[in-house]
Chains A and B, each alone.
Chain A
Amino acid sequence: MSKVNNFSTTNSHWINWFKWSSPSTFYPVAGKLIPVFWILTAIFGIAGLWVSFFVAPVDAVQGQGYRIIFVHVPVSWMSMLIYLVMAAWAGIGLIFNTRLSSMMAQALAPIGAWMAFLSLWTGAFWGKPMWGTWWVWDARLTSELILLFLYLGFIALQASIENPRRADKAGAILALVGAVNVPIIYFSVKWWNTLHQGASVSLTKAPAMAQTMLWGMLLMVLCFWMYTIAVSLMRVRTLILEREAHSDWVRQLNEVKQ
């Protein structure tokens, strides 16, 4: 609370910012926002799937099966985006010593890991009809696998440290180090791929996409984005209840009183 005192004499913007970073203020707000994001998820999802299945043309070479990229590509992008957002929240929590930011990072991690896993899984389903194998050491897939390891490491580290504040800060350092390393890792994997004459057909060398395909992917990205926000808000609320269980305002909540 001394942080609020420090900034009270300056710009009133600062007070409001730190007020929102208080779990007790954020909890009800998040609760109201969750249904909004679920609705947005449904809207974008329906629109995206409709475009993917009915509007986008059939691919000459790959037939109907290629449509799985409408899940694979958005999910890959989301897995990378979520990692950056997670690292950013963790970093804010580390620098400004705000618990809520760290909880947000903790909430996002499993979602990101799940997206990375889906990316690998859908990648395998896409690859199997094409090359006859479930896995290929393509640069993108390999980087995605390493990203999954980074997520799992973050989750494992936070799970292993008992003191929640120490877990927050240690996780933040790991996430930030990981975020800095992701471009380095991606670059090195690409290098490795070209050096060892990897598969000549690559998931990234997709044929020029029809406009409708891009629209389909964009809609699906938005769908997954809304989904991520909805689920992370739900998870953050649960985390708040768990970690602030000893405080008065939590004990007074209707959910807890039951």
Chain B
Amino acid sequence: MSAALRLALLLILAGCIYLFLAQPYWFPVGASLQAAAIDHQFKIAFWVLGGMFVAGHLVLVFVLAKKTHAGGKPLRGGWKLEVTWTVAITAIFFWLHVSGNHLSLHAKTVMRVGSLQEIEVTGAQFEWYFRYPGADGTFGRTSAQKFARPDEGNPLGIDPADPAGRDDIVSSSLVVPIGQPVVLRLKAQDVIHSLFIPAMRFKQDAVPGMDIRTSFTPDKMGTYEIVCSQLCGIGHYRMRAAMRVVTEEEFEVWLGNQQKAVAQGEQ
């Protein structure tokens, strides 16, 4: 039985190693500055902890194979071993912890750089809306309860009386220029949603009643998928949108077209 158990553990180990080295599914292409850093951090953690996983199982197999020789005193305990192990594992875990933690704080410092154009993201069951402030650079006041009419082209409830809101652009996809920090302001109209853009390695909950600012910097052109990753109700799985990273010129053109469309709508 001992041999069978050891064989089983080795088989499982081999299967897991194969799975994680063959990597039939792995990170999607990273398309933001943060992605490279996060992937790198993950790789470190992956190799360190993966190594511990393999080592742990090999030790387990070895221990199961060990025969006691008659008369030999088996190991009953020992503070020396205990302390060595504890110190070693503490060092490894805290080294990982410290090496990884600057990343998250870094993401938050980016958002403090003012003057960047912000994009407001609103989650509503089961739709994402992206609002650009338009030519005047300011968002119009919104009140979802008073003015929201999704079927009349005002899903966010922009106050018609507010001049700042006249030129606001509401889009169902996120279009951003390459190479510039994108500052998002996340809001939610009804329940908690979570904006997840795998290619940007970006995720942030959109919480009703809160106004959460965060940012990332896309650095690869292309179209990426956006999903909701916080259970928000029956249509959670179909709450998705697209993100396009374009050149600066293309972005200006797109913005101009949108503005024209808004202006026409006004008339």
Tell me, yes or no, whether A binds B: no
Residues of B within 8 A of A (CB): none
Residues of A within 8 A of B (CB): none
